[in-house]
Chain A
Amino acid sequence: MSTTLKSRWADDNDDDPEVEAQRKHEKEKKKLAKATKQRKLEVKDSAQEQQQQEDENTFNGEAERPAKRRRLSEDAGMPVEAEPKRAICLRFPAPEWGPCRHVDNFEKLNHIEEGSYGWVSRAKDIVTGEIVALKKLKMENSPDGFPVTGLREIQMLMEARHHNIVHLREVVVGDKMDDVYLVMDFLEHDLKTLLDEMREPFLPSEIKTLLLQILSATEFLHSHWILHRDMKTSNLLMNNRGEIKLADFGMARYYGDPPPKLTQLVVTLWYRSPELLLGSEKYGPEIDIFAVTGPPTQQTWPSFRSLPNARSLRLPPSSKSASVTGPVLLPRSKFPYLTNAGLALMSVLLALNPASRPNVAECLKHPYFHEDPRPKPKEMFPTFPSKARLERRRRRETPEAPKHGAEAPQLDFADVFSAPLEGDTGEVGAGFTLRLG
């Protein structure tokens, strides 16, 4: 809009550390000068307060007179005239803000993992010696400025203070405008790596404890109108004290009631609930509930043919006539180690029709959590060697959440329900495979 402006930003490189440093230095000098003037200032402040006080009195005295008379007869406790007040009157502890610190305050120890949205490393706070996880946000030279996914991730982590959600300590920055890092509490494991490396699977009592924590985090998020939208094992962190913390809010969104149009481009395919796969534009907290357990199996969902992508879905003939009223149980043969209650819970969690999935509170009340074996106390959990702490871990093929800005993958649904559909007796459920076209 003006040439002065252009020159200001085009030539005068704000990133230039020297310019920056000099500016800082000058600021410091001024701040010092200011501090010496502080006493004077305080005097002035109180003078200003007094002035305001007078203003208020005049104001109340003049303009307010008619209203005042009327009010006297109406209600007794008039606050305005009642007490003198200071300029800033109430100061309960509230969150504050301040500029981001520099990433140089941390010393990188080792690289942990590269996912789809960021690089994560283990690092040490140079001053306190505390060990943290640093996640560098991927900017992918976005033409629209700061990626909205990163913004949401930060915002939601700031808001989502819960025992089972990873703790974001602060956001730090590097020299370039694009260098932004999340500083989080470090956790020894993510569930995916841990499950890959474990020699013995978790015991049923342990699974219950883990599941309860995951559900607790989910309940918290949903009560704050946050959908995680990418619940899966690699985004579930675990420490050596049996505690689970949900991480990776790169796909998270606020949702309203009624739900606004959200993007379909969410949730790594294996964990995606069918209404997402089939192109529904409206979805709600049920999608996270679905993901708590994982891949679906054949079920019924009466109205799903009306969803956009359902047209491309070739269903085996028998499914058209399928119409089931009560919750359909998953095939028992696929889950030989699960109790009846466990099977029942898993079946409703994976219900294809979102409306018949329970909400988190209902899940937590489920008999599964109250029958033996009881959830194992967290303190009794075994500990495991931490790949993140000791060495670079082996990477396995895992489906990634779609890249931001990419098209929702075109799905070939021919194979989705490819298993023979003979009720809930046989191989159904194992046949969930998706091909990306």
Chain B
Amino acid sequence: MAPIQGLDSLSNALATLAQLSTSSSSLDGVPTDLEASVRFAGSLLTQAAGVLLRLPQEVIAQAVVIFTRFWIGPEGGSLAIYSAKDISAASVYLTAKLSFQPTSPRSVLNVYSFLLSKEASPLWFVNPNGPGVQPAPETYYLSEGTYQSERLVLLRMEATILRTLGFQIRVIIPHTIALTYLQTMNATSPALAKRIFEHLSAALLSPQLLYVTHQPNALAVAAIYLGAREEGVKLADGEWWKVFDVDREELGFLVVAMRSMNGFAMAEKDKWKTQPIPLIADDVMEELEKKRASDGD
């Protein structure tokens, strides 16, 4: 692994250019757009699981970042080998374990069993047609036998994540930083704070991988900039973002990226409206085969 460098208390490990240019999945033949779709669905799944497990927002966001880091770079995890749903579950389990609110393998697996159930799941990328009216509990309950084998997978994936990331699993989340900045600028309002948080949470799902390419202070500043504009709140005069160590170029990029999130999400939903997004390695491979076949026609 890369030699460990000191972590500033407000900075995160970021992906290198080399890591961003080639992913393990692409080496295995997974097309970039499919990879982006699976990563997007996996992040949504992670968020949904975190909410059902009643984890704090911060922990959920950290889990999504861990999940995102895992797939990056030629030495990262490949969608042809690892199932997005397993990495998602292990990310949630691992992050919660390190938080003040750990959770049990059983709770995690129960929640995933429900969220991935073809009959009961409320998630559009699992059930494009919506859940059945009254799905029978058997369709999403975890039997003891399945639980035992799933638990082994969960713990194995936890170890895999740790090894793949060289134990770089600390994630600083920009939300509190944003609030502190707002206070510094005397611009706290609940509506503005809510806006900012929405942008920061949406940015977790960005296909541009904002949380692994930009430091939390920059994400915070961009969300503030955008939120203030949308709410019509006037912030300090002049180039206030410089005070928070963000330059104009980075801010510009982030603002555009954050504003494009809605469009990206809509496009994904549209693209997958008849078919679930594959969250299991075998399904990804099947999708590849289908694509190859249709490309061949």
A residues neighboring B (CB under 8 Å)? 1-2, 4-6, 8-10, 14, 23, 27, 30-31, 34, 41, 45, 55-56, 59-60, 63, 67, 71, 74-77, 79-80, 82-83, 85-92, 94-101, 144-146, 148, 151-152, 154-155, 158-159, 161, 168-171, 173, 177-178, 180, 224, 256, 260
- Which residues of B49-98 have CB atoms within 8 Å of chain A's CB atoms? 69, 73-75, 81, 83, 85-86, 93-94, 97-98
Judge if B190 is at the interface, Cβ distance under 8 Å.
Answer: no
Select one of B15, B85, B94, B238 contacting A77, CB under 8 A. Answer: B238
Min CB distance B113 to A, Å, is 6
Min CB distance A41 to B, Å, is 7
Known: A9-B152, A151-B97. A82 touches B259 (CB 8 A): no
Q: Are A98 and B1 in contact (CB under 8 A)?
A: yes
Which residues of B are found within 8 Å of A41, using beta-carbon distances? 21
Which residues of B are found within 8 Å of A5, using beta-carbon distances? 83, 86, 153, 280, 282
Q: Are B85 and A95 in contact (CB under 8 A)?
A: no
* Closest residue of A by beta carbon distance from B104: A144
Q: Are B255 and A79 in contact (CB under 8 A)?
A: yes
**Bound complex: CA A151 to CA B93 (Å):** 13
Which residues of B are found within 8 Å of A8, using beta-carbon distances? 281-282
Judge if B129 is at the interface, Cβ distance under 8 Å.
Answer: no
**Bound complex: CA A154 to CA B94 (Å):** 14
**Bound complex: CA A97 to CA B168 (Å):** 6
B residues neighboring A (CB under 8 Å)? 1-7, 9, 11-17, 19-22, 24, 26-28, 69, 73-75, 81, 83, 85-86, 93-94, 97-98, 100, 102, 104-105, 112-113, 116, 146, 149-150, 152-156, 158-160, 162-170, 208, 213-215, 218, 225, 229, 234, 237-239, 241, 247-253, 255-256, 259-260, 280-282
Q: Are A171 and B253 in contact (CB under 8 A)?
A: no
* Closest residue of A by beta carbon distance from B255: A80
Query: Can you list 29 contacts pairing A with B, beta carbon distance less than 8 Å?
Result: A1-B85, A4-B280, A5-B280, A10-B152, A27-B24, A45-B21, A55-B256, A55-B260, A63-B259, A74-B234, A85-B253, A87-B208, A88-B213, A89-B253, A90-B218, A95-B168, A97-B165, A98-B73, A98-B75, A144-B105, A145-B105, A146-B94, A151-B169, A155-B170, A169-B3, A170-B1, A177-B156, A178-B159, A180-B162
Q: Are A1 and B256 in contact (CB under 8 A)?
A: no
Which residues of B are found within 8 Å of A80, using beta-carbon distances? 251-252, 255-256
Select one of A76, A88, A98 contacting B2, CB under 8 A. Answer: A98
**Bound complex: CA A76 to CA B237 (Å):** 8
- 4 additional A-B pairs beyond A31-B27, A75-B237, beta carbons within 8 Å, are A148-B102, A158-B168, A159-B7, A171-B4
Min CB distance A70 to B, Å, is 8
Q: Are A79 and B167 in contact (CB under 8 A)?
A: no
Known: A99-B164, A158-B4. A88 touches B20 (CB 8 A): yes
**Bound complex: CA A10 to CA B167 (Å):** 25
Which residues of B are found within 8 Å of A74, using beta-carbon distances? 234
Which residues of A are found within 8 Å of B26, using beta-carbon distances? 34
**Bound complex: CA A38 to CA B158 (Å):** 33
**Bound complex: CA A94 to CA B11 (Å):** 8
Which residues of B are found within 8 Å of A60, using beta-carbon distances? 256
Which residues of A are found within 8 Å of B252, using beta-carbon distances? 79-80, 82-83, 85, 89
Which residues of B are found within 8 Å of A152, using beta-carbon distances? 98
Q: Are A91 and B17 in contact (CB under 8 A)?
A: yes
Which residues of A are found within 8 Å of B73, using beta-carbon distances? 98
Q: Are B3 and A9 in contact (CB under 8 A)?
A: no
Which residues of B are found within 8 Å of A27, using beta-carbon distances? 24, 27, 74
Which residues of A are found within 8 Å of B152, using beta-carbon distances? 9-10
Q: Are A67 and B229 in contact (CB under 8 A)?
A: yes
Which residues of B are found within 8 Å of A260, using beta-carbon distances? 100
Min CB distance B41 to A, Å, is 15
* Closest residue of B by beta carbon distance from A253: B100
Q: Are A95 and B11 in contact (CB under 8 A)?
A: yes
Which residues of A are found within 8 Å of B170, using beta-carbon distances? 155, 158-159
Min CB distance B69 to A, Å, is 7
Which residues of B are found within 8 Å of A87, using beta-carbon distances? 208, 253
Q: Are A170 and B164 in contact (CB under 8 A)?
A: no
Known: A90-B214, A171-B166. A97 touches B248 (CB 8 A): no
Min CB distance B33 to A, Å, is 12
Q: Are A83 and B249 in contact (CB under 8 A)?
A: yes
Which residues of B are found within 8 Å of A77, using beta-carbon distances? 238-239, 248
Q: Are B253 and A146 in contact (CB under 8 A)?
A: no
Which residues of B are found within 8 Å of A170, using beta-carbon distances? 1, 3-4, 166
Which residues of A are found within 8 Å of B158, using beta-carbon distances? 145-146
Q: Are B75 and A94 in contact (CB under 8 A)?
A: no
Min CB distance B97 to A, Å, is 5
Q: Are A159 and B9 in contact (CB under 8 A)?
A: yes
* Closest residue of A by beta carbon distance from B252: A79
**Bound complex: CA A256 to CA B101 (Å):** 13
Select one of B16, B168, B238, B259 contacting A75, CB under 8 A. Answer: B238
Min CB distance B238 to A, Å, is 6
Interface centre among B154, B167, B213, B248 (most CB of A within 10 A): B167
Q: Are B11 and A31 in contact (CB under 8 A)?
A: no
**Bound complex: CA A80 to CA B208 (Å):** 17
Min CB distance A170 to B, Å, is 6
Give the top 8 A-B pairs by smallest Cβ distance, nearest first.
A161-B6, A97-B168, A79-B248, A145-B155, A94-B14, A90-B250, A79-B252, A95-B13
**Bound complex: CA A60 to CA B229 (Å):** 14
* Closest residue of B by beta carbon distance from A224: B9
Q: Are B83 and A169 in contact (CB under 8 A)?
A: no
